[in-house]
């Protein structure tokens, strides 16, 4: 006997918050590009590219959230939740390219430092810091439990830190005239972008590779289900994530001779999975005897 337990999660305000943050961030990007060109500041231009990466992350996340709200279809039975993971993957590759450009330009300017107009640079960076603070506050609540929103939120927080670094560099250049600080701040921002890119890339690849949700493994789930009084054995356990907020499990459960009704057993199993592991979608197959595939894990074979 099979049972499917579903827990739908809807966040109707996520897309609107993301849309506002996207347009706000694009305005900041335009301001920092103009400011960076006028002041000849690599740190400010680096921060502008970081802002553009944020805008791309916000745009892809907004698009993915809109897609995820669509209902499943006959050929998209899981719905469109994986689009968010693909968006995060695209974001990470974009961030890698941007960080590479920043490192190259920082190296070039370390060899040949160029003068920077520090006062206008400070003004633009301060505006960027304020704007990033507004966007971060807009996304803070929505960032809990969603890979897209969380990655975009972390990008914005990182960019706020980068804007702060640009401000510090501008102050140093204004009072000392030491222009080496500009490419050094740019390289630091590049490292910040690289770190964020790696975190998003790793999370997206874990989901696409059908890895178990963070903090869960098949053996711990099997032991928990096996602790129920009517369960004799658990085998053929599969754990995966459809998206960062949709962990799923399928498992076969061998029941004992004296057990409650099927609906009562399924209710107990699904309740345990949901309360102890936060798994709201489970596929449980009840069996009177092992179906011939013993062991917690199942080796998939081509047929």
Instruction: Render pLDDT for 247-258 as a digit per residue (tens, 0 to 9).
Output: 899 999 998 877
For the chain, give the percent of residues with pLDDT over 90: 6
Averaged pLDDT of the chain: 78
In DSSP terms, 5 is beta-bridged to: 282
Residue 243 has pLDDT above 80, yes or no: no
- The reply to whether 3 falls in a domain is no
Structure tokens at 288: 């009177």
158 close to 128: Cβ distance less than 8 angstroms: no
Domain extent for 72: 10-208
**Averaged pLDDT for residues 98-103:** 80
**Alpha-carbon distance 53 to 223, whole Å?**
43
Per-residue pLDDT of 215-236, as tens digits, reads: 888 889 999 999 999 998 898 8
Does residue 130 share a domain with residue 46?
yes
Does residue 265 share a domain with residue 194?
no
Beta pairing, strands 231-241 & 247-255: antiparallel
Residue 6 has pLDDT above 60, yes or no: no
Structure tokens at 119: 């006062």
Does residue 132 share a domain with residue 75?
yes
- We report the CATH number of the domain holding residue 273 as 3.30.70.1350
In this predicted structure, which of 94-103, 135-144, 182-191 has the lowest mean pLDDT?
Answer: 135-144
Does residue 229 share a domain with residue 182?
no
DSSP sequence for 139-169: HTGGGTT-HHHHHHHHHHHHHHHHHHHHHHH
For residue 12, count CB atoms less than 10 angstroms from its CB and return exposed for 0-12, middle for 13-18, buried for 19 or more: exposed
Does residue 103 share a domain with residue 28?
yes
Provide the 10 A C-beta neighbour count for residue 79: 18
CB half-sphere exposure, 224, CA atoms < 13 A: 19
Q: Which residue has the higher pLDDT, 84 or 225?
A: 225
Beta pairing, strands 281-287 & 2-5: antiparallel
**Alpha-carbon distance 163 to 48, whole Å?**
9
Does residue 199 share a domain with residue 249?
no
- Chain centroid to CA 63: 14
Does residue 194 share a domain with residue 137?
yes
**Alpha-carbon distance 100 to 70, whole Å?**
37
- Note the pLDDT of residue 62: 78
3-class SS string, 93-116 = HHHHHHHHHHHHHHHHHHHCCCCC
- We report the CATH number of the domain holding residue 115 as 1.20.1510.10
- The number of domains in the chain is 2
- Note the pLDDT of residue 15: 67
- Residue that terminates a domain, selected from 149, 174, 208: 208
């Amino acid at each position: 006997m099979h049972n499917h337990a579903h827990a739908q999660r809807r966040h109707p305000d996520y897309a609107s918050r993301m849309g506002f943050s996207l347009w706000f961030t694009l305005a900041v990007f335009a301001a920092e590009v103009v400011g960076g060109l006028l002041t000849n500041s690599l740190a400010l231009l680096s921060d502008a590219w970081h802002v553009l990466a944020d805008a791309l992350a916000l745009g892809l996340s907004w698009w993915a959230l809109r897609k995820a709200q669509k209902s499943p279809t006959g050929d998209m039975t899981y719905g469109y939740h994986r689009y968010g993971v693909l968006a995060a993957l695209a974001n990470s590759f974009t961030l890698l390219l941007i960080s590479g450009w920043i490192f190259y330009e920082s190296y070039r300017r370390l060899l040949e430092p160029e003068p920077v107009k520090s006062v206008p640079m400070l003004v633009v960076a301060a505006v960027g810091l304020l704007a990033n603070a507004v966007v971060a506050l807009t996304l803070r609540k929505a960032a809990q439990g969603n890979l897209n929103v969380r990655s975009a939120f972390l990008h914005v927080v990182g960019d706020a830190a980068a804007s702060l670094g640009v401000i510090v560099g501008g102050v140093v250049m204004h009072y000392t005239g030491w222009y080496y600080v500009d490419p050094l701040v740019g390289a630091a921002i590049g490292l910040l972008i690289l770190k964020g890119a790696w975190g998003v890339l790793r999370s997206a690849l874990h989901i696409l590779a059908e890895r178990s949700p963070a903090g869960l493994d098949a053996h711990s789930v099997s032991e928990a289900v096996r602790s129920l009084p009517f369960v004799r054995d658990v085998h053929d356990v599969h754990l995966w994530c459809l998206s960062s907020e949709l962990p799923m499990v399928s498992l076969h459960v061998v029941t004992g001779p004296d057990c409650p009704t099927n609906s009562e057993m399924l209710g107990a199993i699904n309740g345990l999975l949901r309360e102890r592991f936060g798994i709201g979608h489970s596929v449980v197959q009840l069996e009177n005897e092992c179906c011939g595939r013993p062991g917690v894990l199942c080796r998939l074979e081509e047929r």
